[in-house]
Amino acid sequence: MGSRPQFSPQTLSVLAALFEQPSAWRHGYALARQTGLKSGTLYPILIRLADRGLVEACWQEEPVPGRPRRHLYRLTADGLATATAALAEAEPARAKARPGVSPRGGRGIAAPSVP
Amino acid sequence: MSWLSRAAATAERAAVRLVPAARRDWAEAIWAEAREVPPGWQRLAWRAGGVRLIAKETQMVRRTGTLVLFASAAAAAAWGAWPKSSVSISHGAADQGDVIITLAMLAGLPLLTCRLLGPPDNRQARWLRVGSYAAILAVMSAKAVTDMFVGAVPRGGIDLRTYDVGNSNGGLPVPGTVSGGPTWGGEIIILVITASYLAVMLALTARRAKVAPATLTIGARAGLVLGLVMYAVDPLGGANTATNPWLHGSATDPLVALAWILLFSAPFVAGALAGKRCYVPDDPGQASAARSWQGLAAGLVCNGVGALTVTVLGTGTTALMLKSAWLRGWLYHGQHLTASALYGRELNASGAVVFYALICVAFPVIGLMMGPAGSGYANATGPQPDGGGPGSPPGPGRPEPIPDPPGGGQIADGDAGGLTALRSG
């Protein structure tokens, strides 16, 4: 019996985007641009990842004057380990996929090299 | 800032308040981020995603569907139960009061329960609520029809004499009118029973009551069997003389014996099964208390559902027999009744509907006693909660602990406590 993939392609793309700079805080719009996901898809994924303790979130401490504070995200230590394993596991499938195109037609991302 | 932007900002803030507190940051985040998105279609699409997220997190589709379903059912039931213009003032006032107060309770009590004990957090609880609501609305409509029939004074002839015999204490009614009708005292008792049923059912299905889904399933299934057997024994409740002999329960009838046995054994068995399925890994004292609670809930649900089932079917049959020749043929098949004899039976059955109030009080009391007895039996004879070793995982054939409820937009329950209750297998 084949094992069910742990993450959907969309979730993997979010993990991959966060994985590129694991220590950096990223905001939602940047992640959306990088993954090609719409806000209605991206945020539920971030919520699920945060619920599982794979992503941590915080509010920007020094917002740009005249702008609201932004919500920032990055991988936790657990998230980093999980992303490493999940991306490594998904690598063969991603390699087969047409380069630069995500399964849902969004802008694809290059799979990071897994350390 | 244009008025449109201000209106949008206000709408956004209002929408965020709809979201459960634990998720509010995410809704605020998506709105805050919208300012970074280039204006135009892109920003609109971003905001649309925010609306989608909020709709999902607030379970708006389910809530709207529930509201529409309840409003439709309540309107239909109220239309059926609302007194017609031909009834007397006292009759009309009592029936109007009954409809208005029942609907107010149906609409208001869930809000109160939600505030005190939390919303239902599983499918079984939601279905039990839907079933109970449907039953209460159906009984309200059926009762109005029978009340109307009991209060309608025949224009004359032998029917009027039959009516006078059946209402010897009713004074001198005017033929051809609808007089008398339900008494305020009786209405208040029925409303108190309805309120008690609603309150108990809403409490047992609320999240913080910690009644396991399996307990609700076991109790409801056993209750349905009990109610159906009770109905089969005597479809017209207290008016068993009004039915055909094959339905007329006698003390020697096996079906009657089965009904009596079920009345006591169904909540006992439900309590025992619910108790057996309750699993607390470490603490025997806590395990015993948890089993007792599950047993009590199962017994109460069992006989409550049983009473509601037989009441809905019984009052429904009585109300429909007044309108359906087919149903009268089923109830009195093989008998050749004159119109007057038939009227007497209909009058008898309609007047005896009040018997169901007695069932609705007595059944849950029996369930309340037998359910904990069943769980006590399970506690004494069942497997040890720790399975012979502290922390040992449940093995094959043993109950498994219920997983934490999925996030799914629900606020995490801060007082989950040590009780581990079980899902139905």
- The CA distances from residue B392 to B66, B384, B416, in Å, are 42, 11, 21
A33 touches chain B (CB under 8 A): no
Whether B277 maps to a domain, the answer reads: yes
- Whether the full predicted model's pTM is greater than 0.80, yes or no, is no
Tell me, what's the pLDDT at B425?
32
Q: Among B209, B234, B266, where does a domain finish? A: B209
DSSP letter string, B344-404 = HHHHHHHHGGGHHHHHHHHHHHHHHHHHHHHHHHHHHHS--TTTTSTTPPP-TTS--PPPP
C-alpha of B312 from chain center: 11
Q: Which two tokens stand for residue A61?
A: 């401490």
Do B38 and B82 reside in the same domain of the chain?
Answer: no
B282 touches chain A (CB under 8 A): no
Strands of A55-59's sheet in order across: A26-27, A71-75, A55-59
Task: Give all domains of chain A, ordered by start, each with its CATH number.
Answer: 9-95 (1.10.10.10)
Contacts of B23 in chain A (CB under 8 A): 47
Tell me, what's the pLDDT at B299?
95
CB contact under 8 A, A57 and B25: yes
Q: Which two tokens stand for residue B369?
A: 């006693």
Crossing angle of the two packed helices B89-117 and B184-204, in degrees rounded to 10: 20
Whether B409 maps to a domain, the answer reads: no
Q: What are phi and psi of A26, to 5 degrees?
A: -120, 150
Whether B113 maps to a domain, the answer reads: yes
Contacts of B57 by beta carbon, 8 Å cutoff, 6+ apart = B19, B20, B23, B26, B27, B409
- The CA distances from residue B18 to A16, A47, B22, B106, B109, in Å, are 32, 17, 11, 23, 20
Contacts of B120 by beta carbon, 8 Å cutoff, 6+ apart = B126, B129, B205, B206, B207
What is the distance between the alpha carbons of residues A18 and A7, in angstroms, rounded to a whole number?
15
CB contact under 8 A, B50 and A40: yes
Query: Which among B30, B35, B407 has the least Cβ separation from residue A39?
Result: B30
Count CB-CB contacts under 10 A for residue B209: 16
Do B226 and B142 reside in the same domain of the chain?
Answer: no
Among chain B residues, the shortest Cα distance to A41 is held by B49
Do B232 and B320 reside in the same domain of the chain?
Answer: yes
CB contact under 8 A, A67 and B29: no
Amino acid at residue number B20 = P
C-alpha of B88 from chain center: 31
Place of tokens 């699920």: A48
Query: Which among A42, A48, A69 has the least Cβ separation from residue B32?
Result: A69
Per-residue pLDDT of chain B (425 residues; tens, 9 = 90+): 577 777 777 887 788 877 777 788 898 899 889 888 998 899 999 999 988 888 887 776 777 788 888 888 888 888 877 776 655 666 667 778 888 899 999 999 999 998 899 888 888 999 999 999 999 999 988 888 887 777 666 666 666 666 665 565 555 566 555 565 667 777 888 899 999 999 999 999 999 988 999 999 999 999 999 999 888 877 776 655 555 555 555 556 677 788 889 999 999 999 999 988 887 766 777 788 888 899 999 999 999 999 999 999 988 888 888 777 777 777 777 677 777 777 777 777 777 777 888 889 999 999 999 999 998 888 887 654 443 333 333 333 344 343 333 333 332 333 333 333 443 33
A66 touches chain B (CB under 8 A): no
Angle made by CA atoms B273, B277, B279, in degrees to the nearest 5: 145
Contacts of A27 in chain B (CB under 8 A): 33, 36
Helices (H), A1-115: 9-20, 28-35, 39-51, 77-96
B41 touches chain A (CB under 8 A): no
Do B279 and B187 reside in the same domain of the chain?
Answer: no
Q: Which two tokens stand for residue B299?
A: 């017994």
Place of tokens 């109610």: B227
Contacts of A28 in chain B (CB under 8 A): 29-30, 33
- Contact at 8 Å (CB) between B28 and B16? yes
Do B85 and B46 reside in the same domain of the chain?
Answer: no
What is the distance between the alpha carbons of residues B2 and A107, in angstroms, rounded to a whole number?
34
What confidence category does residue A102 fall into, taking pLDDT thresholds of 50, 70 and 90? Answer: very low
Q: What are phi and psi of B276, to 5 degrees?
A: -65, -30
Q: Which two tokens stand for residue B246?
A: 């094959």
Tell me, what's the pLDDT at A36?
93
Q: Among B209, B231, B249, where does a domain finish? A: B209
Do B182 and B304 reside in the same domain of the chain?
Answer: no
Lowest-pLDDT range, A6-20, A41-55, A92-106, B290-304?
A92-106
Q: Which two tokens stand for residue B76?
A: 């239909």
DSSP A74: E
Q: Which two tokens stand for residue B229?
A: 């057997």
Whether B402 maps to a domain, the answer reads: no
Contacts of A41 in chain B (CB under 8 A): 49
Do B198 and B341 reside in the same domain of the chain?
Answer: no
Place of tokens 């005249």: A66
Angle made by CA atoms A89, A91, A94, in degrees to the nearest 5: 130
H/E element, B99: helix B89-117
A38 touches chain B (CB under 8 A): yes
What is the distance between the alpha carbons of residues B142 and B140, in angstroms, rounded to a whole number?
6
Query: Which among B23, B31, B52 has the least Cβ separation from residue A40?
Result: B52
B35 touches chain A (CB under 8 A): yes
Contacts of B29 in chain A (CB under 8 A): 28, 43, 57, 70-71
Listed residue (A111, A110, A107) closest to A37, CA to CA:
A107
Whether B372 maps to a domain, the answer reads: yes
pLDDT at residue A98 is higher than 70 = no
Whether B403 maps to a domain, the answer reads: no
Whether B317 maps to a domain, the answer reads: yes
CB contact under 8 A, A67 and B26: no
User: From its phi and psi, is residue B244 left (phi > 0), alpha (psi between -120 and 50) or beta?
Assistant: beta
- Contact at 8 Å (CB) between B343 and B165? no
Do B44 and B75 reside in the same domain of the chain?
Answer: no
Q: Coil, helix or strand for B245?
A: coil
The complex's ipTM works out to 0.77
Do B75 and B127 reside in the same domain of the chain?
Answer: yes
CB contact under 8 A, B33 and A27: yes
Tell me, what's the pLDDT at B67?
85
Task: Count residue pairs from A and B with Cβ separation < 8 A.
Answer: 62
Do B297 and B330 reside in the same domain of the chain?
Answer: yes
Query: Which among A47, A51, A71 has the least Cβ separation from residue B33?
Result: A71
Enclosing domain of residue B29: 8-56
Count of the separate structural domains present in chain B: 3
- Contact at 8 Å (CB) between B24 and A47? no
A110 touches chain B (CB under 8 A): no
Tell me, what's the pLDDT at B403?
37
Listed residue (B135, B138, B139, B140) closest to B94, CA to CA:
B140
Q: Which two tokens stand for residue B291?
A: 């089993």
Q: Coil, helix or strand for B229?
A: helix
Q: Among B152, B186, B209, where does a domain finish? A: B209
Tell me, what's the pLDDT at B14?
81
CB contact under 8 A, B49 and A46: no
Listed residue (B56, B1, B9) closest to B28, CA to CA:
B9
Do B250 and B306 reside in the same domain of the chain?
Answer: yes
Place of tokens 């109790």: B219
Whether B406 maps to a domain, the answer reads: no
Helices (H), B252-352: 254-276, 284-321, 325-331, 339-351
Do B130 and B81 reside in the same domain of the chain?
Answer: yes
Listed residue (B148, B17, B18, B140) closest to B73, CA to CA:
B140
Query: Which among A29, A38, A46 has the least Cβ separation from residue B36?
Result: A29
A47 touches chain B (CB under 8 A): yes
- Contact at 8 Å (CB) between B379 and B292? yes
H/E element, B160: helix B157-166
